[in-house]
Chain A
Amino acid sequence: MPGAGPGVPKTRSNATPTSPISFWDAFVLIQQLVNGLTLGAVYTLIALSFSLVMGVLGVLNLAIAELFMLGGYFGFAILLARLPLPVALVAGMAGAALVAAIVERIGYQPFRGAPVVTPMLSTLGFSIILQNVATNVWGSDPLQLSDEVLSGRFNIGPASISAIQLVVLSVTVLLVASLAFLVQQTSIGRALRAVAENRDVARLLGVPAGRITLIAFMLSGSLAGAAGVLIGVHYAAITPYIGVEVGLKAIAVMVIGGTTRIWGSLIAGPLIGIVEVMTVAYVGSQIRDFVVYGLMILILLLRPQGLLGSGRGDQSQRV
């Protein structure tokens, strides 16, 4: 599974440079765009999950990769109990948020005064432990969904989009919109932005920064959990190791988007998803990571602050 993005055909298109662009080529291209967007949507969610904690605390919570994986397992547990997908999604989000709260209290809070590498290492420790727990609870073989949660495809012009892809895309849009609303329009969001910009000043104004930090971790966890459920139902399978590769790519997405501006992920996520799927479809999966991470390095060489990064660093609003 880690070898290919969702829905990527294993065969290459037969197009040769000399032949005219046929209807079939256009069909394949549009189909790949849809597949790329779906994968990119999942990357976006996890990248936002990383960014939220990074933006508020300046700390890379490496356990997010495993919160994503655990969210998938929680969702699967619900689906295997024959409950509907929305319940699975909520369970995945809530479960991952709860684990995120534990990570915050044990893996971050006690090390707040320490250099940033200390909480980062402790979240890495959590990451490995969580993966280990998942391996022991669910085994290292992929857990499969016996039958498809949603079947059916919708034709949009020459391309078709599966019901699952439609769910992945629309849930992502819904979650991103909710997050934007929460951050921009609610009092929790204002408190988050205040703590993100200047924790000390926020506290002197009466904002309980400790509680806001916990909320940031839990929000971040719920996004990762949702991504886990979505990718799980998309593949109809999940393994304890899914977080490692997808998580690293989501970090790349965050960096490409610009770590100082969390909404950069909205551009970088689909971009990386599409580049990855296109590379696999037209060139070959053997150079997929070369292209994805090569692109990351190239973008960073041209724009070290990322696509949307402002370069003003810590002075700017990060959340």
Chain B
Amino acid sequence: MNTTLPPRLRLDRITKAFGGVHALTDLSLDVMPGQIIGLIGPNGAGKTTTFNVITGAYRASSGTVLLDGQAVTSEPPHKIARAGIMRTFQNIRLFSDMTVWEHLLVAQPHSGLAVRRLLPMRFSNRKTIERAEEVLEFFALGNVRNRPARTLPYGLQRRVEMARAVTARPRLLLLDEPVAGMNHDEAEAIRALVLRLRQGGLSILLIEHDMAFVMNLCDELYVLDFGILIAHGRPAEIRANPAVLDAYLGRAA
């Protein structure tokens, strides 16, 4: 990786405590531009908490979140989103009665005059609409564009959530279990989408329990256990790491 660039995302010694319980302890993590990084670990390891800290939903107890070298740690969630960090959710959180098309508009920032916001859509920013069309095509959602989200099958809902997260042209995409509940073919389709998104310059940090998916897709993995980073390396290294095996299997035995 090019070492002259600042990392797209850097977590610098992040600690998050709820009362006396440490959900995350001194977590440091880098995502370089164009990388796909996996965040894995047993249930309750602090993976989703990490996402919540990055997006500003939780305020870190200590440590810094840097996006392209800029600290965003104390910004409110909507500013962090506008700065270029978008996410999807482990349990899909679409707006149930909004159409697919509306999901692609609602996530985009509104540029230009405030008065525009009161005008019907065809008068709103042409770039907004062009971008929504582009994303609709990229995710092959054209034939369901006017369907309310709640009427879509599960797999499509996942795709709409990814599409919604991508429309605002984020610099970093956080995917929370993107292939949970999917069969092999569906997971393969998502893998192809993620790779294409990376080609478009997006950096991706993802949480996933499907080991085959993670090992095939990610450049590097970070392994959390009880909020502590226990391993970091390429998939092959992680597979052979005794501490990781212990975290996953040791307690189960």
Contacts and interface: CB of A to CB of B under 8 A. Distances in A.
A186 B118 contact: yes
B174 to A, nearest CB: 10
A101 to B, nearest CB: 15
Contacts of A162: none
A208 B95 contact: no
A205 B96 contact: no
B97 A316 contact: yes
Given A190-B106, A191-B106, A197-B96, A205 B81 contact: yes
A122 interface: no
Among the interface residues A186, A204, A208, which one has the most CB atoms of the partner chain B within 10 A?
A204
A204 B81 contact: yes
Interface in B23-81: 55, 57, 76-78, 81
Interface string A171-202: 00000000001100111101101100110111
A315 B96 contact: yes
Contacts of B118: 182, 186, 188
B166 to A, nearest CB: 11
A204 B87 contact: yes
Interface residues of B, number: 31
A194 to B, nearest CB: 5
A60 interface: no
B98 interface: yes
A14 to B, nearest CB: 51
A113 interface: no
Given A201-B93, A204-B87, A317-B95, A186 B107 contact: no
B74 to A, nearest CB: 15
Nearest to A198: B93
Nearest to B81: A206
B97 A317 contact: yes
B192 interface: no
B97 A205 contact: no
B57 A205 contact: no
A209 interface: yes
A295 interface: no
A112 interface: no
A31 to B, nearest CB: 39
B164 A185 contact: no
Contacts of A206: 78, 81-82, 86, 107, 109, 168
Among the interface residues A187, A188, A197, which one has the most CB atoms of the partner chain B within 10 A?
A187
B168 A205 contact: yes
B57 A200 contact: yes
Contact of A193 (B76, B77, B93, B98): B98
A186 B78 contact: no
A316 B98 CA distance: 10
B95 A186 contact: no
Nearest to A209: B78
B54 to A, nearest CB: 11
B252 interface: no
Interface in A140-163: none
B102 interface: yes
B124 interface: yes
**Leading 10 A-B pairs by shortest Cβ distance:** A317-B97, A206-B81, A203-B77, A205-B107, A188-B117, A203-B78, A190-B106, A206-B82, A187-B117, A201-B93
7 contacts: A182-B118, A190-B105, A197-B96, A202-B106, A203-B77, A205-B78, A205-B165
Interface of B: 55, 57, 76-78, 81-82, 86-87, 89, 93, 95-98, 102, 105-107, 109-110, 116-121, 124, 164-165, 168
Given A181-B120, A197-B96, A205-B165, 8 more contacts: A190-B102, A193-B98, A200-B57, A202-B106, A203-B78, A205-B106, A205-B168, A317-B97
